[in-house]
Amino acid sequence: MFFIMHLSMNRIFHFLLALCLAVSVNAYDGSQLWLRYTPNATPSALVAGKKSQALHELRTYYHGTKPVRLVQKKSLPPEAYEIQVEPKRITVVGADVNGLLYGAFELLRMQQLGHIHSTRQQPVFSLRLLNHWDNLDGSIERGYAGKSIFWGEERGGEEIQDKRLEIKDKVTSGSKHNSYPLINLSKIDAYARANASIGINGIVLNNVNASPKMLTSEYLRQVSTISRRLQAYGIKTYLSVNFGSPKALGDLSTADPLDPQVRQWWRSKVDEIYRLMPHFGGFLVKANSEGQPGPADYQRTHADGANMLADALQPHGGIVMWRCFVYGANHKGVDRVKQAVLEFQPLDGQFRPNVILQTKNGPLDFQPREPYSPIFDQIRHTPNMVELQITQEYTGQSRHLVYLAPMWKEFFSFVQPSSLAGIAGVANVGDDANWCGHHFSQANWYAFGRLAWNPQLTSAEIAREWLQQTFTTDEAFVRPMTDVMLASREACVDYMMPLGLHHLFKFDHHYGPEPDGFKADYPLEWCPVYYHQADSAGIGFDRSHTGTDATAQYREPYRSLYDHVETCPEQFLLWFHHVPWNHRMQSGRTLWQELNAHYDRGVAEAERFCTVWQQMRPFVLKADQGDPRRWQEVDERLRHQEENAREWRDTCLRYFGSFAEPK
């Protein structure tokens, strides 16, 4: 009896085990991103061309019946490609290896979307970079998708990382090639491939709050291993550097950019880097901002600092991306949104040709809605790059579905893409199975790449093609979910900080509302009460000519438009003006009523997103062969988003109501 029972228990156990395995084989964790191509059983003999990554992609994933030829044609603009579809064949023509690879991925994208046609494409921005805020201990500043894919041990700090490198050095000593098996190289390959598929051509591997250790020989060897993998996909490697490195690493007693020894230190360091990585791209620098060292520590200007690095990089063709996100160092007490222009405008024209100024889209800090940064009006003789934030520091942190393409398109409606030398996005990638934490945060990475290639694409076009490749081409899914994605950014603005309100976030981690946030020991620029200025008379920050006069930094017609309450677009009203609670809005409501209406609308939208997602269940399950994992993971997050939207509304209205009511 016992034997029979034992036998059947055993069978049940094995049956359950087999079931679990079957489920886990089918389980889809989102790791393939938008690249859910089915590989051919054997490489397609229909694809011909010189050995390249492009050839490999097409041989593996092209399923068509027409032969495809890959041809390089140097007369095309750099990185450009053409796809020529003729009755009997398809030709992918690329300007160079990057052009060919982008052409191959375009053909595969068309295959996924079900319509292969002729096209000719060239990138609008020649620099299309991701910036990782990854620390050497493996943590990621403002990262919401696990640990760094480049650095650190699971639980390690820099010391452990150093030990690891020492061990590795011993292991590899004597071997010709350095390889670091503790970095997950296949993850890096997959990452590079995903980026190439959307046209990214440069990656900054570490946080702008840079550890000086990044430039030690040990770390540079690791950088060189990574850079070889990225280079295979046409991606250049860049590093953030700590301006104080020569001093911080103990090599010199100063980091003064005009000191000959300091200049020599950087020249030697750059030479060392290029010996290891001839394709190295250059440096990204955050200097004299939020406690980072910089040239101002030695009474030198940003131009002095940037030019010193530029001189070291110039012989190798490298560039310096010098960030304009500076405040608090030289203009204490001045409205933070004015400080970048005050600092950099007088230096315009003094930078070396290989320096590019990199500025966030808005003048404050990646808020859900900001007016564009006026630095793009004021800097005319130095190349500018825009920095966008893909990681959702202020837009729900991979817990909210917020599709950011509409925000970036809004920026491009004020700043001409053709006036920019490049575009950078703060990456939202970590070692989570689905790369980005929230399945829909993948769409922001995708959209960034697509807009970096072509900012004319609409948010809807990008959302549609992402949904079709990532989930299913079924219109009954694509249409409602495109609508949800397109509505999500405005919903976020509404339930967090409508009508130009900004920086109401909880201190430091920036998740959730803290409109009453004030602590005597905060710098004022980090206190929500400083930004909304709510009192019994009204709410909003007066940046007009009667206030800080930040409006004067804008070109016309925006300067005049923004300067007057009557003409200021309502979406920026409280950014530029302190407005009475009973001010009559365009809707006929008072400001206080309008604020309520926006918060309510934001919450209602978050509720609607949940409802729509419920209806999407069968489509997602079908796309994932019956596995509910992805649907559930999104569902859980949407419910949380709804709850958090309510928290935002209730907390903000309760607090502001204490000034506004009764009216």
Catalytic-labelled residue, pool 57, 393, 432, 494: 393
C-alpha–C-alpha distance, residues 573 and 149, integer Å: 41
Q: Is 132 in the site for ligand GCV (CB under 6 A)?
A: no
Q: Pick the closer one to ligand GCV by CB: 325 or 576.
A: 325
| In the complex, minimum distance from the CB of residue 522 to ligand GCV, in angstroms, rounded to a whole number | 13
**Alpha helical stretches, state H, 520-590:** 528-532, 558-563, 573-576
Which window, 99-107, 111-119, 204-212, 609-617, contacts ligand GCV (CB under 6 A)? Answer: 204-212
| In the complex, minimum distance from the CB of residue 227 to ligand GCV, in angstroms, rounded to a whole number | 22
Which window, 84-92, 154-162, 202-210, 351-359, contacts ligand GCV (CB under 6 A)? Answer: 202-210
C-alpha–C-alpha distance, residues 138 and 148, integer Å: 5
| In the complex, minimum distance from the CB of residue 209 to ligand GCV, in angstroms, rounded to a whole number | 5
Q: What element of type H or E holds 467?
A: helix 459-470
Helix, strand, coil % (nearest 5) of the chain? Answer: 45, 10, 45
Which window, 207-215, 270-278, 565-573, 646-654, contacts ligand GCV (CB under 6 A)? Answer: 207-215
Q: Is 243 in the site for ligand GCV (CB under 6 A)?
A: no
Three-state SS string across 272-295, please? HHHHHCCCCCEEEECCCCCCCCCH
Binding string to ligand GCV for residues 468 to 507, with x set by CB under 6 A, is what?
Answer: ----------------------------------------
Q: Pick the closer one to ligand GCV by CB: 211 or 596.
A: 211
| Residue 194 and residue 450 in contact, taking contact as beta carbons nearer than 8 Å | no
Query: Which tokens belong to 93?
Result: 């023509």
| In the complex, minimum distance from the CB of residue 325 to ligand GCV, in angstroms, rounded to a whole number | 5
- Who contacts 127 (Cβ-Cβ below 8 Å, separation ≥6)? 201, 202, 319, 356, 385, 421, 422, 423, 424
Q: Pick the closer one to ligand GCV by CB: 286 or 464.
A: 286
Q: What element of type H or E holds 302?
A: helix 302-313
Q: Which residues does residue 384 pair with via DSSP β-bridges, in sequence order? A: 357
- Who contacts 413 (Cβ-Cβ below 8 Å, separation ≥6)? none
C-alpha–C-alpha distance, residues 533 and 424, integer Å: 32
Catalytic-labelled residue, pool 57, 82, 256, 365: 365
**Alpha helical stretches, state H, 335-441:** 339-344, 375-378, 405-412
Hey, what amino acid is at 354?
N
Q: Pick the closer one to ligand GCV by CB: 13 or 507.
A: 507
* CA 521 to the chain's CA centroid: 31
Which window, 110-118, 205-213, 549-557, 638-646, contacts ligand GCV (CB under 6 A)? Answer: 205-213
Radius of gyration of the chain (CA): 26
Q: Pick the closer one to ligand GCV by CB: 131 or 596.
A: 131
Number of residues that bind ligand GCV (CB under 6 A): 10
Q: Is 133 in the site for ligand GCV (CB under 6 A)?
A: yes
Question: Among residue numbers 139 through 158, which ones bind ligand GCV (CB under 6 A)?
Answer: 141-142
Question: Among residue numbers 338 through 357, which ones bind ligand GCV (CB under 6 A)?
Answer: none
Return the residue of 111, 209, 231, 345 that touches ligand GCV, per CB under 6 A: 209
Binding string to ligand GCV for residues 302 to 331, with x set by CB under 6 A, is what?
Answer: -----------------------x------
Return the residue of 54, 108, 208, 226 that touches ligand GCV, per CB under 6 A: 208
Q: Which of 52, 46, 185 is nearest to 111 (CA)?
A: 46
Return the residue of 106, 256, 343, 365 that touches ligand GCV, per CB under 6 A: 365
| Residue 247 and residue 254 in contact, taking contact as beta carbons nearer than 8 Å | yes
Q: Pick the closer one to ligand GCV by CB: 146 or 628.
A: 146
| In the complex, minimum distance from the CB of residue 423 to ligand GCV, in angstroms, rounded to a whole number | 16
Catalytic-labelled residue, pool 162, 218, 290, 461: 290
Please confirm, yes or no, whether 57 is among the known catalytic residues: no
| Residue 515 and residue 652 in contact, taking contact as beta carbons nearer than 8 Å | yes
| In the complex, minimum distance from the CB of residue 510 to ligand GCV, in angstroms, rounded to a whole number | 6
270 half-sphere exposure, CB direction, 13 A CA radius? 24
Q: Pick the closer one to ligand GCV by CB: 287 or 623.
A: 287
Q: Pick the closer one to ligand GCV by CB: 135 or 644.
A: 135
Query: Which tokens belong to 415?
Result: 């700043």
| In the complex, minimum distance from the CB of residue 301 to ligand GCV, in angstroms, rounded to a whole number | 19
Please confirm, yes or no, whether 290 is among the known catalytic residues: yes
C-alpha–C-alpha distance, residues 335 and 378, integer Å: 17
Q: Pick the closer one to ligand GCV by CB: 121 or 289.
A: 289
User: Residue 26: how many CB atoms within 10 A of its CB?
Assistant: 12
308 half-sphere exposure, CB direction, 13 A CA radius? 24
Question: Among residue numbers 248 through 307, which ones bind ligand GCV (CB under 6 A)?
Answer: 286, 290
Active-site amino acid positions:
290, 365, 393
- Which residues are at the interface with ligand GCV (CB under 6 A)? 133, 141-142, 207-209, 286, 290, 325, 365
